[in-house]
Structure 1
Amino acid sequence: MIRLMRQRRLPAAFKCYCNFHKLDSITANNLYFRMVIHVHSDSAFRRYQKEMRENRGLWPLYRGFFLDINMFKVSKERAAELVKDSYSLLADPSASSDKSTICTDGLADEDANLMIKLKFLTYKLRTFLIRNGMSTLFKESPGNYKSYYLRQMKIWGTSAGKQRELSKMLDEWAVYIRTKCGKKPLSSSIYLSEAEPFLERYAKRSRENQVLVGSAGNLVMAEEFRAIVEGGMDEEGDLDREEELPSSYDAVARDSVPKAEGLIVFFPGIPGCAKSALCKEILSNPGGLGDDRPVYSLMGDLIKGRYWQKIADERRKKPYAITLADKNAPNEEVWKQIEDMCLKTRASAVPVVPDSEGTDSNPFSLDALAVFIFRVIQRVNHPGSLDKSSPNAGYVLLMFYNLYEGKNRREFESELLERFGALIKMPLLKSDRPESGDMRTTLA
């Protein structure tokens, strides 16, 4: 599988991590790793399926696929036997000594007895209904969390029966995690350490539960969890049938087709962070963002009245458009409004933030603040009058800076990722930059 994906240059990454679930079993001669195969584009699944039809010895490729790898030391004689067996299997999969688990068509056999051990959570369930809903569950209430996941399923077009099944499970998850964590929110960076065992226990109760959550560690039928199945559906059966595409199909061609959802690009930043310059650059680019969706920008300094309400009104008029929200979005109240817009207009949102190491209590460093102030006092004729002619520009930026107080950089990024599932960082300062001569002189 890996050799073919690399040879065909399929858009994917292969990342290895220490398997912390096996810490008690790790010794100097017995190591455990987990390799995650992260597929970057759906086109890879279609191209891989074509290869599978021509090579029955390939494993099926799943969304969220990973392998548990055990590296251990044995005697030279035993090592030679293992290598010989491996070569035999690669040359002829049906030659395996274990006829009960690998049939004559090899590892990709469609036989119902083929079982593959996958610790695999369905992507939509794990990311959108559990991780992205944690903020609502902990900061608001279980009732609001239920409203959140029901709206999400409605957007996907999930069937009534599937909604009932998922609601039962998610209500149990909400009670379980709030009872265990109390009022302390569970970080999105470690949520799987709680969600995975819960889903594994839930899956063991019945065959229906196992299918619902995507196995979560149990032995499962390979054909039930293929990311792109023969009928052109995704693993949950909620997406429309897709047309077969030629192998020459590439990412550029894919991005040229109209998208079914809108997009909100917004900026949790500070004046001077270059958001207006970026929006202007995007609008001036003949290709926009690389697809056929209309792109428009609303500059906060030119909008009279409630800016985010204006954005919501425009989103309802143009739900499939790309909205560039050219205004600083510094607080959770604004983020919540953006989340609501996404749910109501079937859109995704992407926060764009200036990259910075931050401080112990602020996601932006003082160096970054100095750059923003410097940029502002160089401006002339700014629509919001925040420029070199402003008598209190520095004070205004300091007020914006303090709006972010209370979160370090890791917490800031984690919350944005938890809410929106993506984050774009704009380069700002080199991490290895030398101190200026004036600063060294002053400190001396």
Structure 2
Amino acid sequence: MEEKKLYNAVRKIITLADGRQIEIETGKLAKQADGSVVVKMGDTMLLGTVVAAKDAKPDTDFMPLQVEYKEKYASCGRYPGGFMKREGKANDAEVLTARLIDRALRPLFPSDYHAEVYVTVNLISADKDIQPDALAGLAASAALAVSDIPFGGPISEVRVVRKNGQYAINPGFSEMAECDLDIMVGGTIDNILMVEGEMKEVSEEVMLGAIKFAHEEIKKHCAVQIELAKELGKDVKRTYCHEVNDEELRQTIIRELYDKAYAIATSGTMKHERSDMFDALEAEFASRYTEEELVEKAPLIHKYFHDDVQKKAMRNMILDEGKRLDGRRTDEIRPIWCEVGYLPAAHGSAIFTRGETQSLTTVTLGTKLDEKVKDEVLVQGTEQFVLHYNFPPFSTGEAKAARGLSRREIG
């Protein structure tokens, strides 16, 4: 009796310059998600999924995108540490990988698309020498490519290193000690979106060479995703309507407020004073409408003033006059002052101030017992140097509670 196949998997192969292969498979796992893929390289497999709400929540004027990246301990035959034996919240490395994915995806959604989108990438099988974070951006983008969610990609992210003067893509853990450059590059088939990493004082020429080398690889990844989307009929995306606009109101705001906003932008005032002046200008315009009219018009006035007047005035001032908001030229830095030993009981302390940005830093010396123990899925060991960064709401004058760490504080 012939076995009936209960799924229809579609596979695409990407061949790296050195002959290694990356396989993208869809149609086998997580079929109820809007889009799902498994990206495989060697024994490493990542499950990337994406789900989007059908409609935007009322009064949403931004892109509510949430990206999660999780490495399963079972993926390489390990138990989680600790008493509970249950995987908990994302560790710092997982949060940083999620942020890398987010940074490349977020700007590519249509500006008027405001439905909630959840992207999840799970490491479900792990080869102990393959670095999975370099494949996570590809998994997230491929999941979007095989969905009907509007997206201006595809994208991919790759790690590029330089070893013995030669560039290489997505090296194994064992090769990293010999590398003097290690960067992650994210981009579309046409543009570079994101670069992050570290290097040992390499030249600009070497840095640019690494980015170009990475982009050649990214182009191949994107071409395969475009091919896959066409093959599945997912190159046509869902229709949506998340915004109601009033073009007459937009033009009135631009006509009446742009010159006034430009004058505020070029006044060279301090940040809070300048914000108050912009707010007063917007409020003055809104005062011509009744309270009943403002129920509908207030959100539109705020959007048009912010996007079409305030942002454009600031941008044009910098590009046309070479002048920044606080009056500096584009080649001038803000005034800097520093002080060391400010806190008498700390081991070490410093204040660093540049313009209106300020950091109070402390340093603490510990013993061998104070080392940070790393027990990640594929990375174990200790760290002698730990840097923690805090960004409380009062630092930008915001009146809100500081509850737990935000992802921006993990670096």
Instruction: Return the TM-score normalized by structure 2.
Output: 0.22
Q: Which has the higher strand share?
A: 2
Instruction: Return the TM-score normalized by structure 1.
Output: 0.21
